[in-house]
Amino acid sequence: MSSTKFILGLFDDPDDMMHGIEKLQKNSVPIYDVYSPMPIHGIEAKLGVKESRLGYAAFCFGLLGGSVIFSIVYYTLVHDWPMNIGGKPTFPMPVFVPFTFEWTILWTAFGMTLTFFAATHLFPGRAPRVMDLRATDDRFVIAIDAKGNVPHDDITNLLKEAGAVEIKHNTRKYVSYDE
């Protein structure tokens, strides 16, 4: 039994890597994940990754923020202590606009970004689950779970044919940052 846990195909060109994904899929090899130093457009469709729903979260947070500040201004300005300033109305709609607008944006931004961090498990101090250190520099990495995907040499050959510059058989899943 080989001790290989993950097979990594390292590409130096995003187009070659896309080609590699196609090749693997044609041979029914499941892809664990792909790591790249920049976003690659069109890869989601190829890997069947569902569209992000963060937009809905953003909308809800915006609505909430706007409602919260509107309620605060309404309570303090109109309900709790209405003031008569030269006979002007105590419920001046234009005054509500800047506050409601600003907090809608504030809550959208923070709500959405924090949802993104939570969903992607990003937070300060999180141990980076990186499989190859060059994936944040100049390598486009396809990771394949070695378990069940045998023989490994076939996968190696597939990746090589697609133009991988390096193929790694890693015995541990993630790079250790403690060395």
Partner 1 sequence: MASHSESILREPLITGKNITYAQITNEVLAPVENKPNKAWWIGFVVAVLGALLWVVSISLTFWYGLGEWGLNKTVGWAWDITGFVWWVGIGHAGTLISAVLLLFRQNWRNSINRSAEAMTIFAVICAATYIVAHMGRPWLAYFTLPLPNQYGSLWVNWNSALMMDVFAISTYFSVSLVFWYTGLLPDIASIRDRAKGLRRRIYSVLSFGWTGSVKTWQRFETVSLILAGISTPLVLSVHTIVSFDFATSLEPGWHTTIFPPYFVAGAIFSGFAMVQTLLLITRKVLGLENYITMFHIESMNKIITLTGSIVGVAYLTEFFIAWYSGVEYEQYAFINRATGPYWWAYWSMMSCNVISPQLFWSKKLRTSIPFSWFLSIIVNIGMWFERFVIIVTSLHRDYIPSSWVMFYPSWVDVGVFIGSIGVFFTLFLLFIRFLPSVAMAEVKLLLKTSSEQAKKKLIDSGKLDKEQVESYVNQLKIYDSVDITDYETSK
What is the contact surface with partner 1 in residues (CB under 8 A)?
Answer: 12, 14-15, 33-44, 47, 49, 52, 54-55, 58, 62, 72-73, 76-77, 80-81, 83, 85, 92, 95, 98-99, 101-103, 105-106, 108-110, 112-113, 116-117, 119-130, 133-138, 177
Nearer to partner 1, 105 or 150 (CB): 105
User: Smallest distance, Å, CB 146 to partner 1?
Assistant: 18
Closer CB to partner 1, 49 or 150, in the complex:
49
Q: Which residues pair with 166 in a beta bridge?
A: 10
Query: From the CB of 49, what's the least distance to partner 1, in Å?
Result: 6
Q: The tokens 């990754």 sit on which residue?
A: 49
Q: Report CA-CA distances (Å) from 40 to 16, 18, 47, 151, 168.
A: 12, 9, 12, 29, 22
Residue 79: CB minimum distance to partner 1, A: 11
Helix (H, G, I), strand (E, B) or coil at 165: coil
- Please name the residues in contact with 156: beta carbons below 8 A apart, sequence gap of 6 or more: 7, 167, 169
Residue 64 in tokens: 């909430």
Residue whose CB is less far from partner 1, 52 or 157: 52
* Comparison of 82 and 154: residue with beta carbon closer to partner 1: 82
Burial class from Cβ neighbours inside 10 Å (0-12, 13-18, 19+) for residue 100 reads middle
Please report how close the Cβ of residue 153 comes to partner 1 at its closest, in angstroms. 26
CB 27 → partner 1: shortest distance, Å?
Answer: 20
| Whole-number Å distance between alpha carbons of 31 and 142 | 7
Q: Give the residue with the Cβ less far from partner 1, 3 or 84.
A: 84
